[in-house]
Amino acid sequence: MSNSVPVITLDGPSGVGKGTIAWHLATKLGWHLLDSGALYRLLALASKQQQVALDDEQGLAQLASQMDVSFRSGDESCPVYPLLNGVAVGDEIRNENCGNRASQIARYPGVRSALLGLQHGFVSLPGLVADGRDMGTVVFPQAELKIFLSASPEARAQRRYKQLRDKGIDASLPRLSREIVERDERDRNRAIAPLIPASDAIDIDTTTLDIEGVLARVMAAVQQRGL
Ligand code: DC
């Protein structure tokens, strides 16, 4: 990782809108984008394809260290299009099933450390916007600016529901609400790299804000830091 490349981190729980905000921010600044959740989702998919069990930490870590991942830049509705071992992966990693599987394998220290180098590899001039759960706390602790986004579970379930329906993916709101609460629990309470704001992060509660409102606050912080 180069110290001279500026990094902005955006962390927060599932459905808070990190991906959309990160995409707008990276596009405005002309910086690179790391969707770290996509890496955990790709590993979830690869483990399913290769029949590595969800409780096989060593097998999962090995798979993570062998994964060949690259991103094609996307758009507002899908910030990045990932390629796994050179093959484009479609919406199959964006469904809730894959998200839940990703959250389960993300508990393992071996998996997280296997993905660390891959994440650092995204640092490149003129700068990187990285979104996830532990970007500001573990992966990029020296980041120039750290943002932590939050929103009520109800608002996040509604947003996720709309996002999935807009993509033509079938979804049930009550089930999504339940899964979001379960995933929050797991991501917040795991022993390693839990979902918590970095001590020097700026907190933005997005419950009553639209995308423009959140972006305006993030951009104000970016300008204040002279980025
Ligand atoms: O952001 P997402 O919903 O695509 O992430 C899917 C899961 O991956 C999430 O529930 C937990 C895990 N994850 C993680 O542990 N650390 C990250 N930096 C990003 C995602």
pLDDT band for position 3 (50/70/90)?
low
Phi, psi angle pair for 130, to nearest 5°: -120, 125
User: Rounded to 10 degrees, what is the CA torsion of 187, 188, 194, 195?
Assistant: 90
- pLDDT tens digits, residue range 204-218? 999 999 999 999 999
| Mutate which of 11, 21, 40, 148 for ligand 1 pocket (most atoms within 8 A of beta carbon) | 40
- pLDDT tens digits, residue range 71-86? 988 888 788 889 998 9
CATH topology of domain 7-219: Rossmann fold (3.40.50)
Question: How far apart, in whole angstroms, are the C-alpha atoms of residue 12 and residue 22?
Answer: 12
Judged by phi (left if over 0) then psi (alpha if -120 to 50, else beta), residue 85 lies in left
Question: How far apart, in whole angstroms, are the C-alpha atoms of residue 108 and residue 186?
Answer: 12
Nearest to 174 by CA among 154, 193, 194, 199: 154
Residue 41, CA atoms < 13 Å, CB-side half-sphere? 21
- pLDDT tens digits, residue range 37-46? 999 999 999 9
Nearest protein Cα to ligand 1, atom 12: 103
Rounded mean pLDDT, 57-69: 95
Q: How far is the CA of 7 from the centre of ligand 1 (A)?
A: 19
Q: How far is the CA of 40 from the centre of ligand 1 (A)?
A: 6
> What pLDDT does 150 receive?
96
Tokens describing residue 221 = 């912080």
Q: How far is the CA of 106 from the centre of ligand 1 (A)?
A: 7
Compute how many other C-beta atoms are within 10 angstroms of the C-beta atom of residue 66: 11
- pLDDT tens digits, residue range 125-154? 999 999 999 999 999 999 999 999 999 999
pLDDT of residue 2 exceeding 60: no
Domain regions of the chain by residue span: 7-219
Ligand 1 contacts CB of residue 179 (under 6 A)? no
Question: How far apart, in whole angstroms, are the C-alpha atoms of residue 192 and residue 69?
Answer: 23
Q: How far is the CA of 22 from the centre of ligand 1 (A)?
A: 14
Ligand 1 contacts CB of residue 103 (under 6 A)? yes
Ligand 1 atom nearest to 183, measured from its CA? 10
Nearest to 133 by CA among 91, 82, 184: 184
Ligand 1 atom nearest to 19, measured from its CA? 1
Ligand 1 atom nearest to 40, measured from its CA? 8
Which residue(s) pair with 10 in the sheet? 131, 147
Q: How far is the CA of 213 from the centre of ligand 1 (A)?
A: 24
Residue pair 174/184 in contact (Cβ under 8 Å)? The answer is no
